[in-house]
Structure 1
């Protein structure tokens, strides 16, 4: 198997044609590791990315305040001890510039850039049944001929940018958090309209509040928030977490969400006093522990959910004080943990500033963008110099449905997923041979996980599967319909027991009009998911037809 890269003359000039064993879409956390793994096998492989450099999520999301809410020392690759210990985080929850530098360090240490094609967007991919290969085209008209197509596009990489009518009419500047410009943006003294108060919007609001001249935040769905504690690290503290490398390696893939901490106690086995103390302790930790390591019953039991939700509301009321702010900014109609839970630093206090106002648009939604600002349904108008939209993503599916992917008999992935969102363990889709996926629906990597934990696990499984095929002289792998049916049924059986499916959130695809309703993330646990994937590999990949 040898790669060739040739230039073929075509109308408009030379266009590159690659013949590869494998093409990887994306040069973020998953794509870099997949490229490394397949190269180690000796495959001819290249990764392709729309960006001008590596980073994936951390290339595009460079908005003010962007940072981890996984601890830096676990949001890392764990396949190489030297690679892990060769990088030192400056703080517990590093910011985007440092995260981007880390991914550059990874790419350079592993010498990956030579096999990455930047500034290139994959436009289409068509399966050739006779050849048993994918024909892939780029936005520049280039062609890639590959046996395997591996998508590492990211869970949250298809931003919703056409949200309101009239956007093109705005005379000021419109900024999207998911496509924030590299060049510095001067917000000093500006009148800013902020739309979106999820995890991203919260980071922006708390960061720019003391810079802008005035900011009005439009809130449709209030969020439960947890305070972040983000200490700087000394050399001694860096050495201490690096000394736990082997423990992290064994621990992270086995917990419920791929973090170092896990649910350790049952609600029914603790007294009310002990429950309160546990909640106080995990809240004071300044991390996601309250969500991911307090009481798992909050996801299943309405009474437990309400008690924990009220605990978080109480903590928010203590900080907000103002009844009007509490009414707009504290959730009442869904339970804590059934939406993505953001960490914040001074977010609630930002609304006490004289230059920050908040407007509820739950019952009086934004109707349109005007040349001077925003107009609500009741006709109220607000004038701005800058509009910032943190309006979310077509999560899980959007990155792939925006590519024209055609499988057996010309079937369209976009059309298939518009009817029903289905995968086999988030690794393959029936009808699309030799298409392997990461960060797609029905796996924990669909954003209910410390992402590096789950993306590494999926990348390794895909690499091992391809290695198994090569060792056995097999050329094509496709998840069977029976296996996909079984996985979807298993996924639904677990999801249906939770309170998550009773809420409207991007976890359920509710933020995209017409999107089939299904919990995007597998909620059976990271450790349980890995066990199932490992069992399939150890048993010779039942449910994956190979020839």
Structure 2
């Protein structure tokens, strides 16, 4: 027998915890559903060694409760996975949110009843829940790409996936290890494994830019200063382009001297968040020549850090503009290539042929390893919806609709799927921002919207085709006037075979996106059709 509630929230990460908390405060009967046995979302599932956040810890936290942000003390500049998970667990306990979730509950489908204007959500255990409103807080980076390398199933050694890491420590001492992938995950894992492995083979197809984290413990004096300034700084950053409020020169990269520009980049490299590079000069994300100045600077840094010039050149990205793939933080990544036990396998130079029972083969050589670690990335934005059947109007499956390109008006609702809200969905800033700031904005907008609909007696809300098309077209147009026009990364869906090329994150910036959403709400939710 189905359980009837007012609202369902799928996911118990940062977005899901806040959504459930907000909806309960409105007096709604809300049910949270979470596949994992605990809260934390991506910080529960991703627990591989060396994992740290790339946003400073004092910023990667909620702002919606001042007592919470005053009471919690982060221990280091860039928090590790255990500390972030501990924070999520603290929030769940502090605000008594756990009891509103059914854990170990995997959602397999949702069907919209067009007569009752309700969703029936089903789970792997056969349970079902019925609600007027559904909030999908499943995250933009929560579904790993399938392993599609020939021969993968034949490997006789140990295999590990970064997104499904064991809860017990893995000892790589004396082992020959292959790490496949050199995005953020692969960089952090390789840096950790290189410390103890007998041999480490890092398999790289497309190199990533990486900047030193310069991680350090946080002093009581620093934390006190941050907390004293939290109210004003949080508000300022909500209106910024990146959700971080990082400084810039206000000048073109091409109007200053080479010496001035290099000195500015060096200060960022040594002392600041690497994301400061994105707004360092007004044109670095728009003009190719200006963008190249960052690549030239970072390329020189790689050559300084890696002793072998040939290896250094292979580690320097040359096929895409800076900022169009995720820029990574590292704690000694490039230096591992100065160790005799670490070997770079360049898959552009010699493509992968197959995984073998004893290792892997490229077109140039055969390699024997004891362990293979997959750090091959995510099916961003759409992956989770490929694992469930979300059936909207006219029996349309969201998975099939998004096979033509993932699209959502304001990043939160896709045409043909009424009453289904997506947190940080396609065409929202999400992955191009401090995602916690974007989560808070989106969740607050969604839950305020549900409060409005409930108070006004509306039972149905759906995005119009015209509004969605205009929103997606605007985002694509921004992509064409920025260096993203030359990009073929997971930001565009290009890391997954057969996935359509479409600009997935909103490129307008956090502050302008917030203003656009607020304007839509103030205008009676323009672009949506409301019905009683």
- TM-score normalised by the chain length of structure 1: 0.95
- The SS at the match of 1:298 is coil
Equivalent residues of 1:176, 1:388 under 8 A apart: yes
Which residue does the alignment assign to 1:317?
303
Distance 2:419 2:411 in 1: 14
Whether the 8 Å contact between 1:194 and 1:389 is mirrored in structure 2 is yes
Q: For each residue in 1:465-519, what CA deviation from the matched residue of structure 2 results, as whole angstroms up to 9, or x when unmatched?
A: 0011111111111011111111111111111111123122111111100101012
Structure 1 residue 369 and structure 2 residue 350: aligned?
no
Alpha-carbon distance between aligned partners in 1 of 2:405 and 2:316, rounded to the nearest angstrom: 33
Name the counterpart of 1:78.
63
Is 2:402 aligned against 1:383? no
Residues 255-311 of structure 1, C-alpha deviation per residue, up to 9 Å, x if partnerless?
111113144412155444432222121121242244333124121101101122101
Please point out which of 229, 234, 239 is paired with 1:244.
Answer: 229
Structure 2 counterpart of 1:5: none
User: What is the aligned partner in structure 2 of residue 279 from structure 1?
Assistant: 265
**C-alpha separation in 2, matches of 1:432 and 1:262:** 40
Could you list the per-position Cα deviations for residues 312-360 of structure 1 after superposition, in whole angstroms to 9, with x for gaps in the alignment? 1011111113112112111122222121100111100011111111110
- C-alpha separation between the residues in 1 aligned to 2:313 and 2:248? 31
Q: Indicate the larger mover: 320-329 or 280-289.
A: 280-289
1:101-500 to 2 correspondences below 5 Å:
101-267=86-252, 270-378=256-364, 380-445=365-430, 447-500=431-484
| In structure 1, distance between residues paired with 2:245 and 2:525 | 29
RMSD: 1.3
Cα separation, 1, equivalents of 2:53 and 2:406: 29
- Of 485, 488, 510, which aligns to 1:504? 488
CA contact (8 A) 2:176 2:198 kept: yes
Question: Once the two structures are superposed, what CA deviation does each residue of 1:160-208 show, in whole Å capped at 9, x if it has no partner?
Answer: 1322122221111110101111122121111101100101110111112
Aligned equivalent of 2:522:
538
Deviation at 1:124, TM superposition (A): 0.5
Q: Specify whether residues 478 and 262 from structure 1 end up closer, same or farther in structure 2 by C-alpha distance, changes over 3 A only.
A: farther
User: Secondary structure, in 3 states, of the residue corresponding to 2:215?
Assistant: coil
Looking at structure 2, the residues matched to 221 and 197 of structure 1 have their Cα atoms a distance apart, in angstroms, of 7
Q: Indicate the SS of the match to 1:419.
A: coil
1:12 maps to which residue? none
Normalising by structure 2, what TM-score?
Answer: 0.97
The superposition leaves residues 28-54 of structure 1 with CA deviations (integer Å, 9 ceiling, x where unpaired) of: 010100010001001111111111100
How many residues align? The count is 530
- Cα deviations by residue, 1:187-239 (Å, 9 ceiling, x for unpaired): 11111011001011101111121111211111111111111111201222221
Q: Is the 8 A contact 1:261 1:292 kept in 2?
A: no
Aligned match of 1:4? none
- The SS at the match of 1:145 is strand
Deviations 1:11-30 (A, max 9, x none): xxxxxx32111111100010
1:287–1:343 contact (8 Å) kept in structure 2: no
Q: Over residues 61-89 of structure 1, what are the superposed CA-to-partner deviations in whole Å (9 max), with x where a residue is unaligned?
A: 10111111101011110011001112100
Unmatched runs of 5 consecutive residues or more in structure 1: 1-7, 9-16
Query: For residues 377 and 280 of structure 1, what CA distance do their matches in structure 2 show?
Result: 39
Contact 1:283–1:290 (CA under 8 A) maintained in structure 2? no
Distance 1:263 1:491 in 2: 24
Contact 2:177 2:371 in 1 (8 A): yes
Q: Aligned partners of 2:62 and 2:274: how far apart in 1?
A: 20
Query: Any conservation in 2 of the 1:223–1:341 contact (CA below 8 Å)?
Result: yes
* Range that drifts further, 44-53 or 278-287: 278-287
Assess if the C-alpha contact under 8 Å between 2:321 and 2:486 holds in 1: no
2: CA distance, partners of 1:269 / 1:78? 38
The one of 505, 509, 515 aligned to 2:499: 515
The runs of at least 4 consecutive aligned structure 1 residues that moved more than 4 Å come to none
Show structure 2 runs of 5+ residues with no match. Answer: none
CA distance in 2, matches of 1:74, 1:476: 36
Asked if 2 retains the 8 angstrom alpha-carbon contact of 1:74 and 1:260, the reply is: no
Distance in 2 (CA, whole Å) between partners of 1:133 and 1:368 is 48
